Amino acid sequence: QSALTQPASVSGSPEQSITISCTGPSRDIGDYHYVSWYQQHPGKAPKLLIYDVSSRPSGVSNRFSGSMYGNTASLTISGLQAEDEADYYCSSYPLTRNLYVFGTGTKVTVL
Amino acid sequence: EVQVVESGGGLVQSGGSLRLSCVASGFSFSTHSMNWVRQAPGKGLEWVSYISSSGSPKYYVDSVKGRFTISRDNAKNSLYLQMNSLRAEDTAVYYCARDAYGYYMDVWGKGTTVTVSS
């Protein structure tokens, strides 16, 4: 099971906006709208940020938003803050394959 | 507080076995499907296995099929992962994660570390 493709790193200055992409074949991501995003700080467990492409769980800042076009999902962080420095992973659930696929992960650096 | 707590990790020789446990609290465990997700040192997340709320069906990533078995005991609010024929490439932090009523994982434990020595 191949991973979804994410950029290895993305950086931005405080208060800027950045976008992380997540791409894969249609059978893994494009045919479904079951994309989720997770944030992971070093040595910590992943935390759910976005589900079903663009929905935000309660308690997650509205600075985090998700979208999707074709076979590419995106996570946008607005008003970048120092605490946003972490690794970010996308995930998809291709219904016909009965498994979760994660992205390769993106390290976000706040300059 | 809604939480899951893993245990059972440790150092084991290649070819050996280990059983991981995950105890849930603060929510109705028997109504949620559950997952194991692992992360090798310095690497990304990898989904390992899924079990439905009733215990069937179960799904596995190809690399562990035939070696790992996921199970649960709803009376004990517990999830398990029996790992046999362990390999060096199974070395990772193993996370227990609750499947939300949808296709995503909304509650994660802190993980338990498995190290397989060759």
User: How does pLDDT run across B61-99, given as a tens digit for each residue?
Assistant: 999 999 999 999 999 999 999 999 999 999 999 999 999
Q: Which residues pair with A64 in a beta bridge?
A: A77
Task: Please state, in angstroms and rounded to a whole number, the distance separating the CA atoms of residues A105 and A50.
Answer: 15
Contact B45, A90 (CB under 8 A): no
Task: Please state, in angstroms and rounded to a whole number, the distance separating the CA atoms of residues A109 and B94.
Answer: 26
Nearest chain B residue (CA) to A6: B44
What pLDDT, on a 0 to 100 scale, did the predictor assign at position A95?
82
pLDDT at A38 over 90: yes
What pLDDT, on a 0 to 100 scale, did the predictor assign at position A29?
87
Position B76, amino acid: K
Shortest Cα distance, chain B CAs vs residue A15, angstroms: 27
pLDDT at B4 over 80: yes
Q: Nearest Cβ partner of B46 from A45, A98, A102?
A: A102
Shortest Cα distance, chain B CAs vs residue A80, angstroms: 23
Residues in chain A, total: 111
| Sheet hosting strand A18-23, strand order edge to edge | A18-23, A72-77, A64-69
pLDDT at A1 over 80: no
What pLDDT, on a 0 to 100 scale, did the predictor assign at position A15?
96
pLDDT, tens digit, 9 for 90 and up, residues A55-74 = 999 999 999 999 999 999 99
Min mean pLDDT across A2-6, B14-18, B45-49, B108-112 is at: A2-6
In angstroms, what CA-CA distances link A111 with A13, A44, A79, A108, B55?
5, 22, 13, 10, 47
> Which residues does A contribute to its contact with B (CB < 8 Å)?
1, 3, 32, 34, 36, 38, 40, 44-48, 51-52, 57, 87, 89, 91, 93, 95, 98-105
Q: Nearest Cβ partner of A48 from B57, B105, B110?
A: B105
What pLDDT, on a 0 to 100 scale, did the predictor assign at position A2?
81
Task: Please state, in angstroms and rounded to a whole number, the distance separating the CA atoms of residues A34 and A102.
Answer: 12
Distance between first and last Cα of chain B? 40
What pLDDT, on a 0 to 100 scale, did the predictor assign at position B112?
98
Residue holding tokens 């607005």?
Answer: A78
Residue holding tokens 């562990």?
Answer: B64
- Percent of residues, chain B, with pLDDT higher than 70: 100
- In a mutagenesis test of the A interface, which of B2, B6, B45, B62 is the best target, namely the one with the most A β-carbons within 10 Å? B45
| Chain B, window 29-88: residues with a beta carbon less than 8 angstroms from a chain A beta carbon | 35, 37, 44-47, 50, 57, 59, 61-62
Burial class of residue A4 in the structure, from the number of CB atoms within 10 Å of its CB (0-12 exposed, 13-18 middle, 19+ buried): buried
Mean of the per-residue pLDDT values for chain B?
Answer: 97
What pLDDT, on a 0 to 100 scale, did the predictor assign at position B55?
96
Average pLDDT over residues A10-15: 97
Average pLDDT over residues B5-18: 98
